[in-house]
Amino acid sequence: MSRAAVLLLLLMISTTALSAGAAARAQAAPATALGVNNPEFMGMVIRDPWYDFGTNPKYPGQPNYDFQDTMGLTLSNMGVRWVRLDFLIPLPYNSSADQINAEIVKYDYFINTVAPRYNLKILALLNFSLVQADSHELNCEKPECLVVGSVFGGGVNKYMDAWLTRALMIADLYRDKIAGYEVLNEENRLASDASAIAPSITGRLLTKFYRFCKNIDPIDQNHGCTEDTKIILGGIHPRGTLNAKAPNLTDAQYLQAIYADPNSFGSFNAAHGFFPVDGIGYHPYPQEIKLSPNDALVDRGLNRMRDVLNAVDPGQQFWVTEVGYNVGFDPDGPKNPIPAQTEAGQVAFMRDVYSSLSTRGDVANVFWFKYEDFPPDSGPRAQHWGVVQIPFTTGDCPGGACYDLSGKPAVYRGSYFAYRELAGAPMARTYVPLVGR
């Protein structure tokens, strides 16, 4: 049997676990590329530039220019418009401004050079990684936690004070080169114990950042957000909390509680006639990784959230700042009946998510998670989320993985080409006839 015949047979086998409709979507390009009609819809979560700073011996103490250039070109070739990157500032509360700035400027080359070169708009994730501390400390409202006389006003603890200071340093440095900010990430279900940042605290942090960064009040500040800068509520996890002390809230209840807080969203809206947010981040997984036309699961979570917004902020849009599919995942193990996830399944899911969410009318964009695979590379916890695979080994590198210094992908998955089709990027097609041995 020829190589072409083998490849075709493998594709047929890999799609048999999907429904007939899903298999068709896995192989067929959409009639009209979404990115042609709406380039803003096409987002991607990328490898954070912080990890590749100082890793290339060619550029000691500098960014790995080769990796960043390769990633920018690859993203551009895919038709990516928005990229989400995470700012990491692994420093304690008492760090100096110079120490903090030394971490921030590790993003300079990508933000100032690579992104403009390839017409990429940046959504900066301002996550718990802005402060080297237990994320639960953001919840503390005990007297010993509060910062008396904080420039950011009342109800500010030392975590919030440090977070706001660093977030505004980022905005002040990059100004209109960052198109949007996402405030926190899955704050309604912390990874360590499935607890949550209290909705009132999340609302307070978001309101203060919105107010100061956009210079709304107090007016004597001059911070870096422009009128067009989008400030997004961090991606809410669909499963909600499981810790009754958190409190135990569903995703929709958590969103509702933020809007209902009279001391943040409520008071801001009363004073200005709108809420201090430009979009609602949402992550429709992990238990909702299904094809939405078959099971309506991706849309189901958004519909819960939509019901809340329709009652309080009906014009507000969703930003799906993470959604993806791990090719390395077997839901119930290799000896159990649910089949392992496949590259064909990843393609089908990607096409389904982008096409179905684009028809809703209330989703601003979708950020695919993720650009590249990350550790571990094998075993039951393998993390093969990427549209590309860049060779890496575990070692003494930032994040514990040493990636190929060039950043050149060794594997371009089917999802890479599916994304290009969805974005309307030029595609070269080759038709190989099926021949016998």
pLDDT of residue 329: 86
Length of the chain: 437
> What angle, 0 to 180 degrees and rounded to 10, lies between the N-to-C axes of helices 199-213 and 251-260?
60
Domains of the chain and CATH, by start: 3-423 (3.20.20.80)
Q: How far apart are CA 387 and CA 346, in angstroms?
A: 9
Closest C-alpha among 92, 93, 197 to residue 135: 197
Half-sphere exposure of 247 (CA within 13 A, CB side): 8
3-class secondary-structure state, position 400? helix
Looking at residue 221, its pLDDT comes to: 75
Q: Where are the beta strands (DSSP E) in 180-251?
A: 180-183, 230-236
- Cβ-based neighbours of 217, under 8 Å, separated by 6 or more: 211, 271
Give the span between the Cα atoms of 232 and 219, in whole angstroms. 22
pLDDT at site 275: 98
- Within 10 Å of residue 129's Cβ, how many Cβ atoms? 16
pLDDT of residue 209: 97
What pLDDT is stored for residue 3 in this prediction?
42
DSSP secondary structure, 250-289, as one string: -HHHHHHHHHH-IIIIIHHHHHHSS-S-S-EEE---STT-
What pLDDT, on the 0 to 100 scale, is given for residue 34?
87
Which pLDDT score is estimated for 285? 80
**Sequence-distant (≥ 6) Cβ neighbours of residue 12 within 8 angstroms:** none
pLDDT tens digits, residue range 237-293? 998 887 766 678 999 999 999 999 999 999 999 999 999 999 999 998 866 666 655
3 state SS for 282-301:
ECCCCCCCCCHHHHCHHHHH
Alpha carbons 250 and 186: distance in angstroms, whole number: 12
Query: For residue 337, which amino acid is it?
Result: P
Which residues, 6+ apart, have CB-to-CB distance to 313 below 8 Å?
A: 259, 275
The whole-angstrom distance between residue 273's C-alpha and the CA centroid of its chain comes to 29
Structure tokens at 370: 């993720």
The CA distance from 234 to 231, in Å, is 9
Digitized pLDDT (tens) for each residue of the chain, 437 residues in all:
444 443 333 333 333 333 333 333 334 444 458 888 999 999 999 999 999 999 999 999 999 999 999 999 999 999 999 999 999 999 999 999 999 999 999 999 999 999 999 999 999 999 999 999 999 999 999 999 999 999 999 999 999 999 999 999 999 999 999 999 999 999 999 999 999 999 999 999 999 999 999 999 766 678 999 999 999 999 999 988 877 666 789 999 999 999 999 999 999 999 999 999 999 999 988 666 666 555 556 778 899 999 999 999 999 999 999 999 999 888 778 888 888 889 999 999 999 899 989 999 999 999 999 999 999 998 888 999 999 999 999 988 998 999 999 999 999 999 999 999 999 987 654 444 444 43
**Per-residue model confidence (pLDDT) at position 297:** 63
Instruction: Give the pLDDT of residue 335.
Output: 82
Contact 237, 253 (CB under 8 A): no
Per-residue pLDDT, 287 = 62
Backbone angles phi, psi at 378, to 5 degrees: -145, 175
d(C-alpha 190, C-alpha 13), whole Å = 38
Using DSSP's 3-state secondary structure scheme, residue 365 falls into strand
pLDDT of 63: 97
Contact 361, 37 (CB under 8 A): no
Please report which helix (H) or strand (E) contains residue 414, including its range.
helix 414-423
* Pick from 120, 36, 21: nearest CA to 351: 21
Question: Amino acid identity, residue 389?
Answer: Q
Rounded to two decimals, what is the model's pTM? 0.90
Nearest to 346 by CA among 425, 413, 424: 413
Nearest residue to 66 via CA among 54, 78, 56, 80: 56
51-61 pLDDT tens trace: 999 999 999 99
What local confidence, expressed as pLDDT, does residue 350 receive?
93
